[in-house]
Amino acid sequence: MLSILANIMERIITSKLTNLNLLPDNMYGGRKNYGTTDAIQALDTCVENNKNRNVCIMALDVEGGFDNLDLDRTCNMIGEKDKHLGDWIKSWEHYRQTVYRFSVRYGAPFRTNGAPRAAY
């Protein structure tokens, strides 16, 4: 259930950041109407437009890149465009808690933000 809620929140935040023009046009991940085929088409267009030149293409997928993101700095940058959204994201990340419910019984709440992920 947590992954479903996280995906919903990711889409809401991505939509807001897109509306504030804080995401570059060449960012394809997690954006509505942008996908792998769009990235491939952009790459193909770049190669086609530079046929008579030497072209170097580098693709990066930094594992854990967002795990090391400076949240306060990012929220301040977002807050320059939309203070309410920047404050909301910071609050959501810093004070997130989870509670498990079994039938009608609730477990003790525990923090689910900023905790290191288990090694697999």
Task: For the chain, give every domain's residue range.
Answer: 63-120
pLDDT per residue over 62-98, tens digit each?
666 566 678 888 888 888 988 988 888 888 777 777 7
Predicted local confidence at residue 65, as pLDDT? 59
Place of tokens 């889409």: 11
Q: How confident is the model at residue 2 (pLDDT cuts 50, 70, 90)?
A: low
What's the pTM?
0.46
101 forms beta bridges with 106
Residues 6+ apart with CB under 8 A from 20: 78, 81, 82, 85
Q: Following DSSP, what letter does each residue of 57-76 receive, concatenated?
A: ------TTTGGG--HHHHHH
